[in-house]
Structure 1
Amino acid sequence: MTAPTLPATMTVWRQDRFGSAAEVAARTVPVTAPAAGQVLVRMEAVSINSGDIHLMHGSPRMVRLFFGLRRPRVRGRGMDLAGVVVAVGPGVAALAVGDRVVGAGTETLAEYAVVPASRLTRLPDDVDPADAACLPVAGNTAVTALAGRELRGSRVLVVGAGGGVGTLTVQLAAARGAEVWATCGARAEETLSALGAARTVDYRTVPVGDLPREHFDLVVDIAGLTPLPVLRARLRAGGVVALVGGEGGAVLGPIPRLVRSLFARRRGRRFRPVTATTKSEVTAELVDLLSRGILTPVIQRRVPLSDAATALAHVEEGHTVGKVVVLA
């Protein structure tokens, strides 16, 4: 396919200092040509993750050691993407101009983004790019949280199941034969039941500590607010708590809690911190499940790129059911 003629400039959403969504603004910048091993992607859809909000805030403050002490080192927001390859850098053989792709990069809240080809996978023509864009970060996290367990016939508790990671975790666990219980806000209960949760629990009226003791083979803790002994007490012998999320303090965030979890094992009941990386082969598997109707991303709101700050602000509020997707 002949490479399309590219515009000289594009819109990208960036921030000059850490802060709320009000600090992120549309900028006009030159379109950058891909270097070796990279491709240029024309965005079709970008989903917003909680990680985007943490980077926007520069919180916890320890992350600023890696992402900029006084101001963001990478000023553009966005990680997930689905779009079309419009230019290919030297050494890229796996992708070509015109390929529809999905994956993860940086500064994807833009009309175009330069992305390493290794972080992308082809997207079938019959898959909605908005649905696909929900998969890379949240989907890889869900897969990692469930890894290493035989789920058929087991009972899984997902704590804080209403967001992007939670809604995918519930579906993946149910598809693999688990009986899934999900704690969430009341507004997400109907959605999670439709996605395969055998039982949903409104965390505002029934805290995790009121759920049956020694009842679950796996607890996936996304909310990160329940004391570790309370989570451990819900496990059967040999069970595992997968620690996905956690807010913690302003400086160190969830790190103290993760350190405590290393010493909180009792009678074979243990904790496993989840550090998810976005792998193109895992994303490809998730896309296959999506195309076969086994996964259905929950999209609460679709927002045009011209209003991307509103999408960030909505996720920043912390009450999103599923995902918010920005359409370019």
Structure 2
Amino acid sequence: MKAIVQERYGSPDVLRVGEVDRPTVADREVLVRVRAASVNARDWHVMRGDPYLARLVFGATRPKARIRGTDFAGVVEAVGAQVQGFAAGDEVFGEAEGAFAEYVSAPEDLVASKPPSVTFEQAAALPLAGYTALQGLRDAAGVRPGQRVLINGASGGVGTFAVQIAKVLGAEVTGVCSTRNADLVQSLGADHVVDYTRADFAAAGVSYDVVFDLVGNRTLTDCRRALTATGTLVLSGGGMSEGGSLVGPMGLLVKGRVVSRFARQRVQVLTATPSRESLATLAELAASGKVVPAVDRTYGFDEGAEAIRHLEVEHARAKVVIVM
């Protein structure tokens, strides 16, 4: 089968479309013929082996996993001997290593049925970004109706889901983004939009019950200044400025864990993990129309390197999807 593979760390130029063996399916796995796969920041971090400390997980000198991608949507080709929830021909979406390929084998627990009203491209955009937003707001922050929530990075892959999920949870939502993305964030349901090129949310004198930081371009002090006295700051990801190429965004997350031990305000470092429950919840929200995956643009399979380049360099808004 064809797949987007890499043999060494580097720029998108290290990616190529090559022939690899079709994956086998274990007893509790589902083999899916991929129709669409979305690109996440994780893909270009692994591609570059950046930050360097992450190579302890990714692979010291080259990536352990040759095929990039994790989020997919497609049609079940075969199921393992102990799989009961799916059958050949089912339309599904989920998460598994090696999604940028014609076929992917995924654990049954990390696959969910695709709602008929949701396209394959939209379904592929759901997993990682969707459950990061869901777990960050619902679980880590415990957002309740009537609370004021600020989302820093509201136009990104996670941010576009976070705006919608915060509204589903009953919050008054403020999204922080650039001028060109203000209309998008407002169209997703944000009650207020802060254009960071013209205003500083940390200096505006407005206090929020929850600040969900998806960018990492502000200090912990700045983010906490925008909170109420007992508010919650949720950190997810972050920029390279806090730790450089050695530890990257992990620097900000480590600081967050330290501060959380002493501050009256809650500082939660989000470690989002895929689960059957999260995928099922996202499917239900998408089927009802309460959450609509926002896709910035799509690329053909042979343009996989350009899709990752666009996400990394062009500050893509919403999700970028590769169509098989």
The amino acid of 1:113's aligned partner reads: V
Q: Deviations over 1:201-254 (max 9, x none)?
A: 1212223332225x1000000001101011111111210100012133211122
Give 3-state SS (helix, strand or coil) of 2:290's partner: coil
Report how many aligned residue pairs link the two structures.
Answer: 318
Unaligned segments of structure 1, at least 5 residues: 1-9
User: Alignment partner for residue 308 of structure 1, among 304, 308, 324?
Assistant: 304
What's the TM-score, normalizing by structure 2? 0.94
8 Å CA contact retained: 1:216, 1:236:
yes
User: Alignment partner for residue 232 of structure 1, among 224, 227, 230?
Assistant: 224
**Partner in structure 1 of residue 270 of structure 2:** 274
Give the whole-Å Cα distance in 1 for the aligned partners of 2:204 and 2:315: 23
Instruction: After TM superposition, give the deviation of residue 267 of structure 1 in Å.
Output: 5.8
**Partner in structure 2 of residue 260 of structure 1:** 255
Instruction: After TM superposition, give the deviation of residue 263 of structure 1 in Å.
Output: 3.4
Q: Deviations over 1:35-86 (max 9, x none)?
A: 2212211001111111111111111111111111001100111110101110
**Partner in structure 2 of residue 3 of structure 1:** none
- The yes-or-no answer on 1:145 pairing with 2:136 is yes
8 Å CA contact retained: 2:110, 2:279:
no
8 Å CA contact retained: 2:113, 2:283:
no
The amino acid of 1:285's aligned partner reads: T
Structure number having the greater helix percentage? 2
Q: How does 1:203-242 map to 2 (within 5 A)?
A: 203-213=196-206, 215-242=207-234
8 Å CA contact retained: 1:104, 1:278:
yes
Instruction: After TM superposition, give the deviation of residue 318 of structure 1 in Å.
Output: 4.6
- The yes-or-no answer on 1:245 pairing with 2:240 is no
- The yes-or-no answer on 1:46 pairing with 2:37 is yes
Unaligned segments of structure 2, at least 5 residues: none
- The yes-or-no answer on 1:296 pairing with 2:292 is yes
- The yes-or-no answer on 1:17 pairing with 2:8 is yes
Q: Deviations over 1:114-157 (max 9, x none)?
A: 11122101123332111111111001100111024242111101
Instruction: After TM superposition, give the deviation of residue 296 of structure 1 in Å.
Output: 1.1
What's the TM-score, normalizing by structure 1? 0.93
Give the whole-Å Cα distance in 2 for the aligned partners of 1:84 and 1:57: 31
User: Alignment partner for residue 77 of structure 1, among 64, 68, 71?
Assistant: 68
Give 3-state SS (helix, strand or coil) of 1:130's partner: helix
The amino acid of 2:224's aligned partner reads: R
Instruction: After TM superposition, give the deviation of residue 270 of structure 1 in Å.
Output: 2.2
User: Alignment partner for residue 170 of structure 1, among 163, 169, 186?
Assistant: 163
Give the whole-Å Cα distance in 2 for the aligned partners of 1:119 and 1:16: 27
**Partner in structure 1 of residue 316 of structure 2:** 320
Report the more deviating stretch, 145-154 or 260-269.
Answer: 260-269
User: Structure 1 residues 318, 241: CA separation in 2 closer, same or farther (over 3 Å shift)?
Assistant: farther
8 Å CA contact retained: 2:27, 2:80:
yes
